Amino acid sequence: MLIEELKKRILILTADVGFGHRSAANAVAAALMERFSDFCQVDVVNPLDDKRTPALLRDTQTDYDKLVRKMPESYKVSYHISNEPVPNAIVEQTLTLLLFNALSDLLRNTHPHVVVVTNSIYLAPLKSVLAVHRLAIPYLTVITDLTEVHRQWFNDGADDLFVPTPEVFQQGLRFGFPEDRVHLTGIPVNTAIAHETRAQNDVRMELGWDLDKTTLLVVASKRVKNLDEVIHVVNHSGLELQLVVVAGGDEDFYTRMSQVEWHTKAFLYNFVDKMPDFLLAADCIISKAGGLIVSEALACGLPFLFVDVTPGQEEGNADYVIRNKAGELATAPVRAFEILCHWTEGGKEELRHYAEASRNLGHPFAAYDIAEMTWQAAERGRINRSLMNTQAIARLREALNNFGISWESE
């Protein structure tokens, strides 16, 4: 065992805007600890929770859910506007001013050998902090959307990009990243998926589910719409199947499902901590097009039936799956019924084709690939290139001074 002080310190920055960013961070951390626990210390930190972060930015974690649920079109408009060069530059400058102190203190307290970023809001501020303090710390970007990725993810200060799909690989090249710094890894998912060797029926038996029926896994959350109607149609469809419904912590939805008179075999859960088991035991999944749940489903070879797509990045996620014949979109409950009928008729041949396509898109070992390259970056140090020129640093320091933000190193 190495002396604690000699271990490489790896800092992973995440945010709790939905589940995806945190889950990706945890997956990379788990892979690092599994492979390099004797040689590194890993910290997963959400700077938005720092007391130095202004409340208006901290509150975006809860406001995001409300905005997506209640004003999806407004969210879509703001997403696309901020994806234009000038508005994005303004957003990045604002984020730099709001997060500069929190990130500066975090780096000063942890002294990381490498930083891994799983949420794009930290990229521009982190680049500025490293440039102003002249810190030669490599930082790596883990992109958590499948296609149509926001330009904020492609901050040119990052040493490496870990991208989920060939489309995003090409997008990285168009934003000026050299090919040797863009790595097609997939989105990191729970490492338990990569280790799974049990047969599907063995997992079902452990869970207490029927071994012979086609199993639909329904995953809810406060941001998934249209599920009640789809479940109602499936429940009265007469199809030979079983429903596994996970409320995802949505208490209202869980209460409603608890009051349903079930006409098909159904298993109801509020919140689960063994989602990989559920994914491996199911035949298909019904949910929204979030980057995490889609990536986990693909890693397990599950066909995806989308019943909700948040405007913005999730449209690209759904399009990627549908275009590659690994899932379909149900714009109405009756359409969900039609799709399920097609998938389950004739010995489920069509469902098997969709499952094979899903499996071909999946990246169950993504977390390990990212962990390996993160370790290499920790050993190597920053690539020998400057983050900003002298004039840009001077202008940034002047802006910080104008807003009363101290940048002097203690």
Report yes or no on 409 lying in a domain: no
Taking phi over 0 as left and psi of -120 to 50 as alpha, with beta for the rest, 304 belongs to: beta
Report yes or no on 143 lying in a domain: yes
How many folded domains does the chain comprise?
2
What pLDDT sits at residue 79?
Answer: 62
User: Quick one: what percent of the chain has pLDDT higher than 70?
Assistant: 92
Host domain of residue 222: 194-361
Report yes or no on 269 lying in a domain: yes
**135 and 96 housed in the same domain:** yes
Q: Are 213 and 194 in contact (CB under 8 A)?
A: no
- From the DSSP assignment, how many helices (H) and strands (E) are in the chain? 18, 12
pLDDT confidence bin for 5, thresholds 50/70/90? low
**66 and 204 housed in the same domain:** no
Encode pLDDT of 343-374 as tens digits: 988 789 999 999 999 999 999 999 999 999 99
**330 and 344 housed in the same domain:** yes
pLDDT confidence bin for 335, thresholds 50/70/90? very high
pTM attached to this predicted model: 0.90
**210 and 272 housed in the same domain:** yes
Report yes or no on 319 lying in a domain: yes
Dihedral of the alpha carbons of 151, 28, 159, 316, in degrees to the nearest 10 = -20
Using CA atoms, how far apart are residues 188 and 286, in angstroms rounded to an integer? 21
**80 and 161 housed in the same domain:** yes
Region 309-318: what's the mean pLDDT? Answer: 84
Report yes or no on 410 lying in a domain: no
Helices 85-110/123-132 angle, 10° precision? 60
User: Quick one: what percent of the chain has pLDDT higher than 90?
Assistant: 60
pLDDT confidence bin for 54, thresholds 50/70/90? confident
What pLDDT sits at residue 69?
Answer: 54
**244 and 149 housed in the same domain:** no
Report yes or no on 339 lying in a domain: yes
3-state secondary structure 238-262: CCCEEEEEECCCCHHHHHHHHCCCC
- 57 or 321: whose pLDDT is higher? 321
Supply 99's token pair: 């997060």
**313 and 396 housed in the same domain:** no
**183 and 49 housed in the same domain:** yes
**36 and 158 housed in the same domain:** yes
DSSP letter string, 19-83: SHHHHHHHHHHHHHHHHHTTTEEEEEE-GGGSTTS-HHHHTHHHHHHHHHHH-HHHHHHHHHHHT
**19 and 60 housed in the same domain:** yes
pLDDT at 71 > cutoff 70: no
- 356 or 63: whose pLDDT is higher? 356
What pLDDT sits at residue 221?
Answer: 78
Encode pLDDT of 246-302 as tens digits: 998 889 999 999 999 999 999 999 988 889 999 999 999 999 888 889 999 999 999
**48 and 146 housed in the same domain:** yes
**41 and 177 housed in the same domain:** yes
Report yes or no on 408 lying in a domain: no
Mean pLDDT of all residues belonging to the chain: 88
- Find the DSSP H helices in 329-365: 333-344, 349-361
Q: Are 23 and 55 in contact (CB under 8 A)?
A: no
We report the CATH number of the domain holding residue 92 as 3.40.50.2000
What pLDDT sits at residue 90?
Answer: 85
Report yes or no on 86 lying in a domain: yes
